[in-house]
Amino acid sequence: MSSSKTEKVKGFVRYSLAHHPVCWQYREHLLRVKGWSLCLGCTGLYSGFILGTIIILLGILHPLEWGELIILAIILYLPTMLRLTHISAFDSSNRKLRISFRGSLGVGIAVGIYSIIKAPSFEIQVIQVLIGIVFYGIISYKRIKSGTKEWDALCDTCSFNRNTACPGMEPLFTWRE
């Protein structure tokens, strides 16, 4: 692979980790770590999932019964679910609060998966998986719906207006050339 091609692939990977335009308009959505732009929400979610998995592997949740695990998972999902309803107390522009909500969701997902494993029967496991898919679908739909509006609002105020000359979108447009 040529040096130019390598740089383009690196640019695309950097964009993919952020999956937002890497420009000043989206600075509230990005976490910068050693020159890499990461999506703030995804970083919180994956960190929370890893933390939840570690907690489970250490056996800290082992004494809990199946029903208690379900309740704990729902409680951990709540901040993100309430934020998506745009309740003012949860609809925060505070970056630390937003990343902690996503971290809570990540731990909740790990606990939810663990509760599926501990479910008393196969039928209940299937029902839990279906409910999990519905929860995930609702969260994804709400994020995509609100994210698209947010993107439009931010990009429409920019002089580049989402065209191929936009420096924040450049890695997306040029990586295959």
Q: Give the pLDDT confidence of 38-60 residue by residue, as tens digits.
A: 888 888 999 999 999 999 999 99
Considering only CA atoms, which of 91, 86, 80 is closest in space to residue 49?
A: 80
37's CB contacts (< 8 A; 6+ apart) are 14, 15, 17, 18, 20, 22, 30, 31
Neighbour tally for 84: CB within 10 Å = 18
pTM summary value = 0.75
Dig out the tokens for 71 from the structure.
């309740």
pLDDT one-digit tens code per residue, 24-33: 667 777 777 7
